[in-house]
Structure 1
Amino acid sequence: MGDVFNDTSQRAFNTEVFVLTKVANAYEKLQDKHGIIERYTFPKIIKHECDNIPTVVLENLAPKGYECYDRFKSVDWNYASKCVETLARFHALSFALKKECLDEFQLAGDFLDSKWIETNFRSAVWEGANDGALAAVNKEDKEKVSKVLEGAVGISKLWELSEPLKTSVLIHADYRPSNIMHKEVNGEYHVIPVDYQITRLGCPVGDLLYFVVLSSDQKFRRQHYHQLVEHYYEHLALMMTKYGLNSEEEYGREDFESDMRAKLPSALGAAAVLLPFITVEADSAPSFERNEFVPRTNELFGERFRELVEDFKVWGVI
């Protein structure tokens, strides 16, 4: 078991260093070239070393007023809209890199090989990861949820959510409030995403749906889900225009909406295995030292997941 996780740590380290150096540099050049004013920002990497324990030291953003969002709270519109705008900028840069620097894009895709992630997600250590979700749902919904989770091995639904369909970009792959530093200035949020350890080629809507199901409650989704999805796509199209791209040719609305429909079931499957990590109290968190990998679920998880199931029924997904 130790060898598996040592290998995972090394690969995650290599991925993050590559993104914060090679990819960040390529994206900075693109933003300079096209005169982008409201830019996508990476955290500055101070140093990285691979002796004994792979370590990445990043700029401390706290003195600048940045902090993490409370993972137990649902996002609000001001915060969520800024986060999906930032995600759209990140994805638009990938489209621009593919168009203008195809060799660099292909090099990044080759380096960010994701087979190790798929293997890790299907590992036996995640056995029972779906059990909490099935126990939490109402009796009349168990069969529907079981069908969504059918075929899942470990936490493989996370892999399914981000797998590319017709369109692939560099995705963050862990885009949630705990990995987004933010500060509020005069009522407006400024955000800097962090933690690029599993960045890879994937489906753009995988990042978007991942953010939605892990960061929002039913009240937010009932008021803003469709608005937030539209906000993402409009901002993506706008940013592609700023890079001289035709959004309909690169990722048209029809393809975007098709991807959304295709990925929604996997998003519910991803929530089933990841929401327990988001909602777990510190004293109930799993301990890798004790070979504990799946957290115990609590009432907050049960409430959030049942709400998701209700919304997915309303949306006609299940």
Structure 2
Amino acid sequence: MSSPEEILRKSLDDILKDKNYKDPKISIKPISTGGANYTSVLFLITVSEPDNEDLKLFAKVGIVGEKMRSQMPTNFYDIERFAYEDLLKKYEKIQDDRQVPATERLRIPKFYGYNAKLYEETIVLEDLSAQGFTTYDRLKSIDWDYASKSVEALAKFHALSIAYKEEYPEEYEKYLDTMKFQEEAFIAFMDSTFDKLKETALSVTLEVNKSKLKKYLDENVNAKTMVQFYLTDRRKILCHGDYRPSNLMHRVNENGELEVIPVDFQTIQGTTPLIDLFYYIFAGSDENFRRRHFWDLVDHYYRELCSALENVGLDPRKVYPEDEFDREVKEFLPYGLLIGIFTLPIITVDTEDAPSMDGENDMSSFFNMKTSSLFPERLNGIINDYIRWGVI
């Protein structure tokens, strides 16, 4: 079997040939995300050739093994290819056609090419790091400046999905169906991991709260509970699906303002926008941040969504009235606790203990990793929130 770098070189040959590079000098450097990425091997690439544009590129080569693929609820490589080849181009066209101001547009990374061959899936994009962008430290809680800019970008992404529905209704319904939440596969996945994750959560819960959490989980949570949030009939749109700091790039521009660009579109799915918003907050913040900013950030997202909808010519009062948003936020509040239990063990894992999706690994081995010392702190912070809010 070819190595990821060998696969990448073959893909680059095809991409650069299409762009009229004859005999370019190519430098390839593998990079690590320190436990933030599991599905691909990542590379930075420099391409140079006389009389042709120098290129700074970023590439991902898929590494998920056959056993793991058979257990996963979605084909994320195909989804990301669709995103860059089709969906995000439509979003760019909508922004152009509706003359969205440059300062209010969603920045979409430039796409260079894709290899769709099974077990060789490769995607090549512009290298944002060469332009000063970087990822946020996944083990550090978000702060207000970063969080507010992140949800502004999220609001623009959601508004473009809604505009896409308005402008291309038949296409939209087709893709919404293609990317609908895979209920049976996800329930099977949760069935295989639920008891283990529940046990892990209770094992690190502060003694004073342990009986409360156990009672709540026993009475209100099972393998199907999380699925119900994704299957809600409330205003389904094409959501990012994994909107967290590790999947965003940011930099401080010359004017001193922070700019945030969403990346990693492998998990786009048809569901409610609150899935993305709550996932971002509870996957990336600590208790101190939420005590100070949770409700302000939720309100900021809604204000930015209204602004983004207006920028694409839609009336937010008709698309998503504020009273409906407020009601749905309260209904979705328990979802944040499930994020803490089901995803924080992976998100907060120490780099040396990060699980792998390649080879013969399967879902049981993926969720059998050693949790970090940060996990109890983050989880207990969420439990405190839910006790304070009267949910537990």
- Which digits, 9 at most, give the CA deviation of each residue in 1:244-286, with x for residues without a partner? 2221211111211122111111221122111111211112222
Residue range with higher mean Cα deviation, 78-87 or 60-69: 60-69
Question: In structure 2, what is the equivalent of residue 187 of structure 1?
Answer: 256
Please list the CA deviations of residues 41-81 of structure 1 after superposition, one character each: whole Å capped at 9, or x if unmatched: 22222221122422222222110111110011001111000
Q: Distance in 2 between matches of 1:108 and 1:259?
A: 25
Q: Does structure 2 retain, via aligned residues, the 8 Å contact 1:161–1:267? A: no
The reply to whether residue 29 of structure 1 matches residue 93 of structure 2 is: yes
DSSP-derived class of the 1:122 partner: helix
Across the aligned residues of Structure 1 and Structure 2, the Cα RMSD in angstroms comes to 2.3
Hey, what does 1:302 align to over in structure 2? 376
Q: Does 2:240 match 1:172? A: yes
- Tell me the distance in 1 between the aligned counterparts of 2:286 and 2:336: 14
| Larger helix percent | 1
Residue 307 and residue 10 in structure 1: after superposition, are their counterparts in 2 closer, same or farther (change >3 A)?
A: closer
Structure 2 Cα separation of the partners of residues 120 and 182 of structure 1: 36
Deviates more, 1:278-287 or 1:193-202: 278-287
Alignment length, in residue pairs?
316
Cα distance in 2 for partners of 1:48, 1:202 equals: 26
For 2:197 and 2:122, the matched residues in 1 are separated by: 28
Change in 2 beyond 3 A, CA 1:9/1:184: farther
Residues 165/138 of structure 1: CA separation in 2 closer, same or farther (3 Å cut): farther
Give yes or no for contact 2:109–2:263 (8 Å, CA) kept in 1. yes
Asked if 1:49 is matched to 2:115, the reply is: yes
Flag the 1:233–1:69 CA change in 2: closer, same or farther, 3 A.
same
1:6 aligns with 2:74: no
Structure 1 CA distance for aligned equivalents of residues 131 and 225 of structure 2: 37
> TM-score w.r.t. structure 2 length?
0.75
| Residues 102, 148 of structure 1: alpha-carbon distance in 2 compared, 3 angstrom cutoff | farther
**1:236-247 to 2 correspondence within 5 Å?**
236-247=305-316
Say which SS state the counterpart of residue 47 (structure 1) adopts.
strand
Structure 2 SS opposite 1:130: helix
Summarize the Cα distance change of 1:140–1:163 in structure 2 as closer, same or farther, 3 Å threshold: farther
Distance 2:196 2:187 in 1: 17
Aligned to 1:254: 323
Instruction: Give the stretch that moved more between structures: 92-101 or 168-177.
Output: 92-101
Q: Kindly tell me: are residues 224 and 139 of structure 1, through their superposed partners in 2, closer, same or farther at Cα, counting changes over 3 Å?
A: same
Question: Which blocks of at least 5 consecutive residues in structure 1 are unaligned?
Answer: none
Q: Is the contact between residue 165 and residue 259 of structure 1 (CA under 8 Å) also seen in structure 2?
A: no
* SS of residue in 2 equivalent to 1:183: strand
- Please give the alpha-carbon distance, in whole angstroms, between the structure 2 residues aligned to 1:45 and 1:130: 40
Deviation at 1:131, TM superposition (A): 2.1
Give the alignment's TM-score, normalised by structure 1.
0.91
How far did residue 191 of structure 1 move?
1.3
Q: What amino acid is the match of 2:343?
A: L
* Cα distance in 2 between the residues matched to 1:235 and 1:309: 29
Matched AA of 1:281: D
Radius of gyration: which is bigger?
2
Task: Determine if contact 1:170/1:200 at 8 Å carries over to the other structure.
Answer: yes
Structure 1 residue 122 displacement after superposition: 2.7
Deviates more, 1:261-270 or 1:290-299: 290-299
Q: Which amino acid aligns with 2:92?
A: E
| Secondary structure of 2:163 counterpart | helix
- CA distance in structure 2 between the aligned counterparts of 1:290 and 1:23, rounded to whole angstroms: 32
**Cα distance in 2 between the residues matched to 1:229 and 1:126:** 29
The Cα of 1:10 is off from its aligned counterpart by: 8.0
Letter in 1 for 2:138: R
Report 1:1-318 matches (<5 A).
3-7=66-70, 8=72, 11-37=75-101, 38-53=104-119, 54-115=121-182, 118=186, 121-122=189-190, 124=192, 128-146=196-214, 147-148=216-217, 150-153=220-223, 159-185=227-253, 186-288=255-357, 289=360, 291=362, 292-294=365-367, 295-318=369-392
Which AA in structure 2 matches 1:310?
N
Separation of aligned partners in 1, 2:301 and 2:74: 33
What whole-Å deviation, never above 9, does each CA across 1:113-149 have from its counterpart, x for those lacking one? 3317625643626661232211111234234433247
- C-alpha separation between the residues in 2 aligned to 1:42 and 1:21? 12
